[in-house]
Structure 1
Amino acid sequence: MMSSDDLERQQRPKNSSNNDTTGTGSSYPTSYSSTESSYWTSWLVPVFVVANIVVFVVVMYVNNCRKHIHGRFYGKCVAGFLGRFSFQPLKENPLFGPSANTLEKMGALEWWKIVHGHQGWRLVTANWLHAGLIHLVVNMLSLVLIGVRLEQQFGFLRIGVIYLLSGFGGSILSSLFIQKSISVGASGALFGLLGTMLSELITNWTIYSNKAAALLTLIVIVVINLAVGILPFVDNFAHIGGFMTGFLLGFILLPRPQFGWLERHNLPAGVRVRSKYKVYQYILGMIALAALVAGFTVGLVMLFHGENGYKHCHWCRYLNCVPTSKWECNSN
């Protein structure tokens, strides 16, 4: 009897080689089967983008720089013609945004209020806040470039779950280590999408014609983005937490069925495909699910018990900021 591997080699569509990531064309693989050639229409990612923009506008309205500015310390509001939507002085916020007090009031990630103020909802709300216009534009452009293609490939439900849970995972890890300052932004969720791209490549390894180029491209993108996190005032723990969450979720939610299973109704009578997924895909999915549940459980227990992550990992401080002669690392 013909094996499923032989089946995939012999009956894969002729144009399937054009649908693989090579690192020189499309940044993400398209569908490899004629039965999966239709794309979902991306609507959830645009909704996320609009929601983030609306939240930023609301935050700036609440901020009302002209009313709360302390000119003797920082100077005048930027773009004063915008009225209450004007930005804080650049000396206070160089990203063209609100004050730290406003972000804290609107739900920024703050360890003391989460643990001792019983405000665990901040683990979610912080992902929808941005420190400034520059921060917002960079993150939303990244979300469109990465998220739209993923949603077209896998649908809104799976990508929505990955985005939201990755942001939550990034908030947990960030709160365990960064306890003397606030943190905001969708970076954890965005890194979750990068992580899920990598695990999707691994779990669907057999459908790629140029595996090395696809893997190298993703690794380079991830390393560059994580390297930016060693700069001061960048929350690399949110990046890492989001990336690991998305990486595990990719094994659970994004395995592609065997080609033979998709074409089972068109196969000769003597050819049978026994399972929808390959054995290694099932194994990776179960391991990832166990690791994800364990990670979330341990992280939340440590967080609400007031644990400081640096006490258990002294060298982890270098994951967030590496001190050099050019800058200092000050968690305050």
Structure 2
Amino acid sequence: MGKKPFSSDIEAARYPPPPPPSFYMQQPRQWFSWLVPLIFIANVAMFVYSMYVNDCPSYLNEEVCLFYEYLGRFSFQPINENPLLGPSVRTLRLLGALEKDLVVGEDEAWRFFTCMFLHAGVIHVLANMFSLLFIGVRLENEFGFHKIGILYLLSGFGGSLLSLMHLRDAIVPNTISVGASGALFGLLGAMLSELLTNWTIYLNKCAALTSLLFIIGLNLAVGFLPHVDNSAHIGGFLSGFFLGFILLIRPQFGYVNKKYVPPGYDAKRKPKHKVYQYVFLILRVTEMCDSASTA
């Protein structure tokens, strides 16, 4: 009597203490990139169609059309007319190139967007499309087709708008502007604002910022070459830069959604965004609203 019941260590080990609750941080969603390849196909198809409509042999002597013996109807305009190996200005204007008199005088505002899918030549379209795949696929994988689609179209529109203002002061009359460069520079601008907004999640911050600024500076320097509309580049870049603060904001490092925290885990969670992220967001929304009201 009065003795404590015997229990061996083996019996006590049958019911080990429960482990402390744990949780795993949710991984960022990886989107399948389909919109950027679709834009790539649309631009290439539109260039092929522009060469079909151009039909150089029907308007000029077959001998002056470049590569007529191989391309026939799809042969290029003479080098002295189009050094980029492409269609004539007449064809680009017909298919929707940006021109001041047609947009302002004829109320053809749709040219703000159609000019984004036209290119002056093979060199032009290849340079833009390789840049699109290099930049756009990664952004679409990280942020989704809906955000990148909005960013692409609005940046292209911003580039077209500034380009139209530049065409208004052009010395040569009836100057046109074509190309996806404004939208592509918008993606570059958005990458810069995304880096600044989501600064806490990057490991090699200085290296990422330096390399990105070098790429942006190199592309902007190309805009000073002859026959290149740098105003579209700048307009697209600024549009994408401001939109990136709104569309590409991500949770700060260490944030965990409440639904991933198990019951009984009362650890203090980080807020979803840093204060400076909200400051950037408010400033950009305010600036864009002021710009819209001024316009």
TM-score range, shorter chain: 0.7 to 0.9
Deviation, structure 1 residue 214: 1.1
Q: Give the corresponding residue for 1:282.
A: 278
Q: Find out whether 1:160 has 2:154 as its counterpart.
A: no
Q: 1:78 aligns with which of 34, 50, 66?
A: 66
Aligned to 1:271, the other structure's residue is in SS state: coil
Q: Find out whether 1:35 has 2:26 as its counterpart.
A: yes
**Partners of 2:186 and 2:236 within 8 A in 1:** yes
**Partners of 1:42 and 1:152 within 8 A in 2:** yes
TM-score of the aligned structures, taking structure 2 as reference length: 0.84
Deviation, structure 1 residue 286: 1.7
How many residue pairs align between the two structures? Answer: 265
Structure 2 Cα separation of the partners of residues 172 and 294 of structure 1: 17
Aligned pairs (5 A) from 1:1-332:
35-69=26-60, 76-80=64-68, 81-179=70-168, 180=173, 181-264=175-258, 265-266=260-261, 269-273=265-269, 275-296=271-292, 298=294, 301=295
Structure 1 runs, 4 residues or longer, greater than 4 Å off: none
- Higher alpha-carbon Rg: 2
Deviation, structure 1 residue 70: 6.0
Aligned to 1:58, the other structure's residue is in SS state: helix
Q: Which runs of 5+ in 2 are unaligned?
A: 1-23
Aligned to 2:98, the other structure's residue is in SS state: coil
- Pairwise CA RMSD: 2.0
Cα offsets for 1:266-312 (capped at 9, x unmatched)? 377333336422221112112112223433554xx4xxxxxxxxxxx
Which residue identity is paired with 2:64? K
**Partners of 1:192 and 1:244 within 8 A in 2:** yes
Structure 2 Cα separation of the partners of residues 50 and 294 of structure 1: 36
- Which range moved further: 251-260 or 168-177? 251-260
Q: Give the corresponding residue for 1:19.
A: none
Distance 1:34 1:61, change over 3 A: farther
Aligned to 1:52, the other structure's residue is in SS state: helix
Structure 2 Cα separation of the partners of residues 57 and 293 of structure 1: 39
Cα offsets for 1:179-232 (capped at 9, x unmatched)? 341010000000000000000000001112221111111111111111111222
Which residue identity is paired with 1:79? F
Which residue identity is paired with 1:133? V
Aligned to 1:120, the other structure's residue is in SS state: coil
Which residue identity is paired with 1:39? Q
Aligned to 1:94, the other structure's residue is in SS state: coil
Structure 1 Cα separation of the partners of residues 266 and 94 of structure 2: 66
Which residue identity is paired with 1:266? V
TM-score of the aligned structures, taking structure 1 as reference length: 0.75
Structure 1 Cα separation of the partners of residues 180 and 293 of structure 2: 22
**Partners of 1:169 and 1:296 within 8 A in 2:** no
Structure 2 Cα separation of the partners of residues 266 and 258 of structure 1: 17
Structure 2 Cα separation of the partners of residues 43 and 294 of structure 1: 34
Distance 1:176 1:141, change over 3 A: same
Structure 1 Cα separation of the partners of residues 101 and 119 of structure 2: 20
Distance 1:34 1:44, change over 3 A: farther
Cα offsets for 1:38-59 (capped at 9, x unmatched)? 4211100000000001111111
Cα offsets for 1:63-114 (capped at 9, x unmatched)? 110001267xxx6101113221111111111111000111011110101111
Which residue identity is paired with 1:47? L
Which residue identity is paired with 2:218? I
Structure 1 Cα separation of the partners of residues 60 and 292 of structure 2: 40
Aligned to 1:262, the other structure's residue is in SS state: coil
Distance 1:293 1:97, change over 3 A: farther
Aligned to 2:177, the other structure's residue is in SS state: coil
